[in-house]
Amino acid sequence: MAGSPRRTAGRRLQLPLLCLLLQGATAILFAVFVRYNHETDAALWHWHNHSNADNEFYFRYPSFQDVHTMIFVGFGFLMVFLQRYGFSSVGFTFLSAAFALQWSTLVQGFFHSFHGGHIHVGVERMINADFCAGAVLISFGAVLGKTGPAQLLLMALLEVVLFGLNEFVLLSLLGVKDAGGSMTIHAFGAYFGLALSRVLYRPQLEKSKHRQGSVYHSDLFAMIGTIFLWIFWPSFNSAPTTLGDGQHPSALNTYYSLTASTLSTFALSALVGRDGRLDMVHIQNAALAGGVVVGTSAEMMLTPFGALAAGFLAGTVSTLGYKFFTPILESKLKVQDTCGVHNLHGMAGVLGALLGVLVAGLATHEAYGDGLESVFPFLAKGQRSATSQAMHQLFGLFVPLIFASVGGSLGGLLLRLPFLDSPPDSQCYEDQVYWEVPGEHEDLAQGPLRAEELETRA
Amino acid sequence: MAGSPRRTAGRRLQLPLLCLLLQGATAILFAVFVRYNHETDAALWHWHNHSNADNEFYFRYPSFQDVHTMIFVGFGFLMVFLQRYGFSSVGFTFLSAAFALQWSTLVQGFFHSFHGGHIHVGVERMINADFCAGAVLISFGAVLGKTGPAQLLLMALLEVVLFGLNEFVLLSLLGVKDAGGSMTIHAFGAYFGLALSRVLYRPQLEKSKHRQGSVYHSDLFAMIGTIFLWIFWPSFNSAPTTLGDGQHPSALNTYYSLTASTLSTFALSALVGRDGRLDMVHIQNAALAGGVVVGTSAEMMLTPFGALAAGFLAGTVSTLGYKFFTPILESKLKVQDTCGVHNLHGMAGVLGALLGVLVAGLATHEAYGDGLESVFPFLAKGQRSATSQAMHQLFGLFVPLIFASVGGSLGGLLLRLPFLDSPPDSQCYEDQVYWEVPGEHEDLAQGPLRAEELETRA
Amino acid sequence: MAGSPRRTAGRRLQLPLLCLLLQGATAILFAVFVRYNHETDAALWHWHNHSNADNEFYFRYPSFQDVHTMIFVGFGFLMVFLQRYGFSSVGFTFLSAAFALQWSTLVQGFFHSFHGGHIHVGVERMINADFCAGAVLISFGAVLGKTGPAQLLLMALLEVVLFGLNEFVLLSLLGVKDAGGSMTIHAFGAYFGLALSRVLYRPQLEKSKHRQGSVYHSDLFAMIGTIFLWIFWPSFNSAPTTLGDGQHPSALNTYYSLTASTLSTFALSALVGRDGRLDMVHIQNAALAGGVVVGTSAEMMLTPFGALAAGFLAGTVSTLGYKFFTPILESKLKVQDTCGVHNLHGMAGVLGALLGVLVAGLATHEAYGDGLESVFPFLAKGQRSATSQAMHQLFGLFVPLIFASVGGSLGGLLLRLPFLDSPPDSQCYEDQVYWEVPGEHEDLAQGPLRAEELETRA
């Protein structure tokens, strides 16, 4: 379907114009609304006369940096597994997450830090902006290889708004706890992406099938992403929790949960593999399910055993999902899920929400002592029983599922607008559509330097 | 030696069954024994009524994350240098370290944090569990490419117990100082692996020799491991030391020692190289010897000059070891040491122990002031002279050497059990034995997109 | 130009002898001059009787580790983009930065921490040593592929001295503010390298042109460098600032500036690219310009909007520089700038200095409150007006430009000494001149294991 030159030029200009437009808009909104908060502003900080060590920066910045690494290195490289889509995987992650950080500062700031006509920012806003970017990247995983960068920016534009709205309803209106985002980040991001992918269903995707797999080195690059996600996940789940007693158990629970999901992923991958062989796709993804599954409950008194059990279950379910459910998802439900986000973020996110229901329902004053105030403030104030909190957690799960399904479907319709630049079915999973791609090893055919060449060195 | 179908199926099931068995066992032990400590438990923490900033989490968690990065990214990618063993290097590191974290939480916890019938865990246990995993990975380096994943899990099962026992005898019973583990981690891990490798000696390993080297890209992946180990080693040596005055000099000494081992490694590598060329194996490994050699003394008043001298010596000895000693180790002593752990962890670990003897022997009340209490408590209390402490340090060196040699030999006998799945001599250093391996660059033969293909984009 | 055997041997020995000589010299100087500071020394720390949490280590070490990652992983891998120069890029980064850390500890220590005949070191010295190494690596970027390791060590020997002198004049004598080093690190490092590259101009460099580009995988390795630089730049600009209110806004401003330079880089790269395609060189480099451009002003009350605007401008200028200015630089000005450091560090550094002039000129007592003392001490004490501080900032910009141009030219003359080992024109950008390079994928020609081979596994 070769278009007229004019349409072609129009398509070429979509990405630059959209970048400039979005950047201009957020810059204006920043100028009008965004201000330093009282821990970041020189005058306000000194006016309050704190000691330096009290600045929230020192409590949260190291965790922020770990989260920041997960978003850009972790997600970016995890998606490099495709043989010819490495530039796009890491590059479009970079672009769409950078935009999401700005845009979600505005959207989340409006919901959570809007006082006196201004949004006040500091390290906590930075962490939450990165969290929102994480949800956008999870959705990106579902449509990886089948969307252009302008489409991805539009997806982020919509998704960030719905993320902020969903989070506000869930956490602020319903009083649901979800520090590490099993519901708000993982389930929301996954089902948003899956709904969107359903609308963008390509019956002729077969034409690009030869590019859909990995090659040896692309799988190693992807393991960089996996390992950085895995090691820093304890920081992810603990970064936004209460100082002191909140962050410590959140990190510890996540740490143990991930070890268990790793063991169960290796076990299940070998069990269902041909001749008992391990599958890199399982290791790269399902081993991370332990981080997702304790996203809601990591800050609770889950117990170290509970963390192991949860991680084990999540790794098992996720691995089986890759093996048995992903093919059905495509063939029966017409959802093409490139990275299998349903297995890692979708199912493990829902499991994590249910685990949160259970652990919240078991909360007692004895188990939490004065710490109850920070984990379950409604219980501490006597406004809710543990069962009531559990019911809120359970009911809350439907909020992100609804926001994600409806929002993702709307997003899909938006991205199907015919004038948007999208790769044709035969050019999916191919960097060359959007990038100048150098040749591969062109020089190596020449072999090692010849002796006479090296002689000239002397 | 083609086996019967039944044996084949049995071998295929070894890894999944062992993973499930080990995970089940540690989960039960966690349920019975492992509890949050008083800094992690919500009720206990608030009962003590500390300020948030006092929580040990804020003093140790950033260092923990650096150590965690070293174990999974550092060791994992350092071993990717083999051309056809990248999946196994990073994957089996992932698996065996994940198991070691759980298992050593139990073993080390039993020795160091067992009160009232329970093991109490928090960030300090997490750091120590990662340290133990480090020792297991050092041993893995000696047998890399010649063992299957089920064998590696059994090795970890045994080694973690001996690591905990050795550490208890050395640090708790003998009062030896070894914060960064020159003895307990590096020398122990190296000689355990070497003894094990000796028992597993393969006279026919020649059959896999063509896979034993690196290729251009695998060496670059390995440098990811090297550099992450190098930059975070100051955190490794300082992570478990006393808060305040313990962590600061430990990090600083390690920082300078590593710069010196880097300079001496480049110098020696070029000096002994063909035509003055540098050898990547030396750079990838010996440049790290500066971290190993100050493992015992980094927390002591080693002085910045002492750190440089120690690092210089370690880099020199380690590089010369790779060049001259590794070949002898195989040909004369029948120890096949894939990663050369003897050069990096073995010799530099022993040197580090001896440096600890020297620096402990020079300790004075003037040099340490009231800081003597945290570095040398027996000296501070007047129960030992500096010379006596030095003698304890010297005598202590034999403890890990004995534990490692005997334990590694036993481990070798265990791993030789004939029913265990082990790669045949002709299939060593080959991912395809245990992994589904994708083709290499299959798509690239097609060359760049043809013009008519790209036209369809318009 | 085959030399006599004796000259050849002499050249081979240059690197080892220079390493040993430099290491010996710094070790002696360390022994004479370098001592622990009062936060690192056991006796001094306890004598002052602080609480552990007061130790500067806890305020700066996490940021230090991020900076350390940027220097060794960030710069090292960013330069791996060349197809046959990966070993040298990451290896010579490793070597020259390791030496620079030692040497700048002495030089900067002499200017800033010299009391009672001794240089006192602690975490702040470590951060500053890493900063100096950053400048050296920026200069390395200009001459990448055209210099041998001995030449690079000599360059570092000279540049570190000038860096220290320049920084002392600028910050201490003129009272100019430049926490994140727009002037002292980026502009200085870039123009030092460019002046040096001008003197080393190679008219016959065309002979190595076929090795000057990237290949697919080398661009992915380079993105590892880019992303780690990008995520940790907030720590770079905040690491040396005042505790509390200094570090928090510095990190936040940098964070937002980088998101904007990323969006503008993608926009401009697509706009000027063939058929609207993105160019990896732009993404790898220009997206980082947002970090450089707020190097001077990040600690000031730049406002979040100011950060976005600055980042946007820097990304735009830098991308256009790569597209239009780099070719002119080589053809007209005979400056061969391998990594385009002029676009990323040179122009963005100068812009950053000018932005500092503007923001300093707008400083008021109202905006900074009591925080004025830490950001603009001369204003707080009433010794300078805001306009006067701005004039100092503007005048100050010429100091690094002069130091860099003169020093870089001298450095070029030094490196042209005819006996120094330098790659011939036809061997530039080639690892094999200095490294043992393994073959590429030699084993892969064998294809997957044959069925009968795998059978033996059973």
Predicted confidence (pLDDT) per residue in B350-380, tens digit: 999 999 999 999 999 999 998 999 999 999 9
Is A214 in Cβ contact with B438 (below 8 Å)?
yes
**Mean residue pLDDT across chain C:** 93
| Distance between CA atoms of residues B364 and B380, nearest Å | 10
Query: pLDDT digits over A276-287, tens only?
Result: 999 999 999 999
Helix (H, G, I), strand (E, B) or coil at A456: coil
Cα C277 off chain centre by: 29
Nearest CA in chain A to C10: A458
pLDDT value of position B10 = 73
Closest by alpha carbon to C142, among C75, C219, C71, C218? C75
pLDDT of residue B8: 67
Q: What is the pLDDT of residues C333-386, one digit of tens each?
A: 999 999 999 999 999 999 999 999 999 999 999 999 989 999 999 999 999 999
**Percentage of residues of chain A with pLDDT beyond 70:** 94
Q: Which residue type is seen at A151?
A: Q
Task: Return the structure tokens found at A317.
Answer: 């379910």
Closest residue, chain C, to B429 (C-alpha): C443
C272 alpha-carbon distance from chain centroid = 27
Burial-class residue C447 by CB neighbours within 10 Å (0-12, 13-18, 19+): exposed
Chain B interface includes C328 (CB < 8 A):
no
Is the pLDDT assigned to residue B414 strictly greater than 70? yes
- Tell me whether A244 touches chain C (CB under 8 Å): no
The shortest C-alpha distance from C364 to chain A (Å) reads 10
Interface chains of chain B (3 or more CB pairs under 8 Å): A, C
What does DSSP say about strands C118-121 and C34-36: parallel, antiparallel, or unpaired? parallel
Contact A438 C371 (CB under 8 A): no
Roughly what angle, to the nearest 10 degrees, separates helices B216-238 and C216-238? 20
Calculate the CA C366 to chain-centre distance. Answer: 35
For β-strands B114-115 and A114-115, DSSP reports them as unpaired
Phi, psi of C439 (to 5 degrees): -65, 170
CA dist A364 and A143 (Å) reads 43
| Alpha-helical segments (H) within B303-421 | 304-320, 326-331, 341, 348-361, 365-368, 372-375, 377-380, 386-396, 398-415
CA angle A284, A287, A288 (to 5 degrees): 90
**Tally of CB atoms within 10 A around B163:** 34
Domain ranges, ordered by start, for chain A: 57-203+211-418
- Please indicate if any CB of chain C lies within 8 Å of the CB of A62: yes
Question: Which residues neighbour A345 within 8 Å (Cβ) at sequence distance 6 or greater?
Answer: A138, A141, A186, A187, A189, A190, A292
Tokens read off for C117: 């005949």
- Which chain C residues have a beta carbon less than 8 Å from that of A123? 248, 251-252
Chain A residues with CB inside 8 Å of C366's CB? 43
Touching B: A residues 388-427, CB under 8 Å: 423-424, 426-427
Q: Are C109 and C120 in contact (CB under 8 A)?
A: yes
Give B47's contacts in chain A (Cβ within 8 Å).
369-370
Contact B375 C13 (CB under 8 A): no
Q: What is the pLDDT of residues B394-413, one digit of tens each?
A: 999 999 999 999 999 999 99
- Chains contacting A (3+ CB pairs below 8 angstroms): B, C
Q: What residues 155-194 of chain B have any CB closer than 8 A to a CB of chain C? A: none
**pLDDT tier at C12, thresholds 50, 70, 90:** confident
Touching check for A219 and chain B: CB below 8 Å?
Answer: yes
3-class SS letters over C389-441: HHHHHHHHCHHHHHHHHHHHHHHHHHHCCCCCCCCCHHHCCCHHHCECCCCCC
Q: How many helices (H) and strands (E) does chain C have?
A: 22, 3
Does ipTM top 0.85?
Answer: yes
For residue A294, what are the CA distances in angstroms to A44, A68, A74, A315, A352? Answer: 37, 20, 19, 12, 6
SS (H, E, C) B237-259: HHCCCCCCCCHHHHHHHHHHHHH
Residue A2 has pLDDT above 50, yes or no: no
DSSP class of A174: S
Instruction: Please report the DSSP string for C334-399 in residue order.
Output: ----TT-HIIIIIIHHHHHHHHHHHHHHT--HHHHGGGHHHH-HHHHTTSS-HHHHHHHHHHHTHH
Residue B453, pLDDT > 50, answer no
Q: Give the mean pLDDT of B39-59.
A: 84
- How far is Cα C371 from Cα B160, in angstroms, rounded to an integer? 52
pLDDT given at position B245: 79
Render pLDDT for C387-432 as a digit per residue (tens, 0 to 9).
Answer: 999 999 999 999 999 999 999 999 999 999 999 999 999 999 999 9
Instruction: With a cut of 80, say whether residue C456 has pLDDT above it.
Output: no
A57-203+211-418 is a CATH 1.10.10.60 domain: no
Cα B123 from chain centroid (whole Å): 19
- Return the higher-pLDDT residue of A384 and A455: A384
Region class of C60: left (phi > 0), else alpha (psi between -120 and 50), else beta: alpha
Nearest to A368 among B42, B57, B444 (CB): B42
Question: How far is it, in rounded angstroms, from Cα A224 to Cα C208?
Answer: 32
Is domain B23-201+212-433 classified as CATH 3.40.50.300?
A: no
CATH class of the C23-202+209-423 domain in this structure = mainly alpha
What is chain B's mean pLDDT, rounded?
Answer: 93
Check pLDDT > 50 for residue A353.
yes
Closest-CA residue of A relative to C12 is A458
| CB-count exposure of residue C397 (10 Å: 0-12, 13-18, 19+) | buried
Q: Tally helices (H) and strands (E) across chain A.
A: 22, 3
pLDDT of A85 higher than 50: yes
In whole angstroms, what is the distance from residue B61 CA to residue C426 CA? 50
How confident is the model at residue A4, as a pLDDT? 40
Q: What is the dihedral of CA B174, B180, B186, B188, to 10 degrees?
A: 20
- Dump the DSSP string for A304-371: HHHHHHHHHHHHHHHHHIIIIIHHHHHHTT----TT-HIIIIIIHHHHHHHHHHHHHHT--HHHHGGG
Q: Are A182 and A349 in contact (CB under 8 A)?
A: yes
* CA–CA separation, A349 and A193 (whole Å): 14
Distance from CA of B73 to the nearest CA of A (A): 7
**Is residue A382 within 8 Å of A167, Cβ to Cβ?**
no
Q: What is the pLDDT of residues C429-453, one digit of tens each?
A: 999 999 999 975 444 434 444 444 4
pLDDT digits (tens, 9 = 90+) for A13-54: 999 999 999 999 999 999 999 999 999 998 888 777 677 778
Confidence class for position B448, pLDDT limits 50, 70, 90: very low
Is B271 near chain C, with CB under 8 Å? yes
Assign C246 to helix, strand or coil: coil
- Whether C49 shows a pLDDT value over 80: the answer reads no
Rounded Cα distance, B176 and B186, in Å: 15
B139, exposed or middle or buried, with CB in 10 Å at 0-12, 13-18, 19+?
buried
The contacts of residue A379 (CB under 8 Å, 6+ apart) are: A363, A365, A372, A385, A386, A389
Report how far residue A232's alpha carbon sits from residue A251's, in angstroms, rounded to the nearest whole number: 9
Nearest CB among A94, A126, A444 relative to C440 is that of: A444
Tell whether the model's pLDDT for residue B168 goes beyond 70. yes
The amino acid that residue B65 corresponds to is Q
Task: With CA atoms as reference, report the closest residue to C302 among C237, C233, C213, C363.
Answer: C363
Closest listed residue to residue A72, CA positions, set A16, A19, A162, A136? A136
- Model pLDDT for residues C141-159, shown as the tens digit of each residue: 999 999 999 999 999 999 9
Give the CA distances from residue B428 to residues A297, B33, B190, B450, C304, in Å, rounded to whole numbers and listed in that order: 43, 40, 21, 41, 56
User: For residue A441, what is the nearest residue in chain C, using CA coordinates?
Assistant: C215
In this structure, are residues B263 and B312 in contact, taking their beta carbons and an 8 Å threshold? yes
**Residue pair B139/B196 in contact by the 8 Å Cβ criterion:** yes
Handedness of CA B55, B58, B63, B68 (dihedral sign): positive
DSSP A214: B
Predicted local distance difference test score (pLDDT) of residue A97 = 98
Residue A172 contacts residue A377 (beta carbons within 8 Å): no
Confidence of residue A9 (pLDDT cuts 50, 70, 90): confident
How far apart (Å, rounded) are the C-alpha atoms in residues A89 and A77? 7
Calculate the CA dihedral of residues A429, A431, A432, A434 and round it to 10 degrees: 110
Which own/partner contact pairs does C379-384 have at CB distance under 8 Å and 24+ positions apart? Answer: C384/C175
Neighbouring C-alpha atoms within 13 Å toward the C-beta of C224: 31
Burial-class residue B328 by CB neighbours within 10 Å (0-12, 13-18, 19+). exposed
Q: Is A329 within 8 Å of A342 (Cβ atoms)?
A: yes
**Burial of C410 from C-beta contacts in 10 A (0-12 / 13-18 / 19+):** middle
**B376-409 burial, b if ≥16 CB within 10 A, otherwise e?**
beebbeeebebeebbebbbebbebbbebbbebbe
pLDDT at B60 over 70: yes
**How far is residue A125's CA from residue A113's CA, in Å, rounded to a whole number?**
8
Give the integer Cα–Cα distance in Å for B192 and B100: 15
Strand partners, C34: C119
User: What pLDDT is stored for residue C444 in this prediction?
Assistant: 40
Confidence tier at A12 by pLDDT (50, 70, 90): confident
Give CA C428 to chain center in angstroms. 22
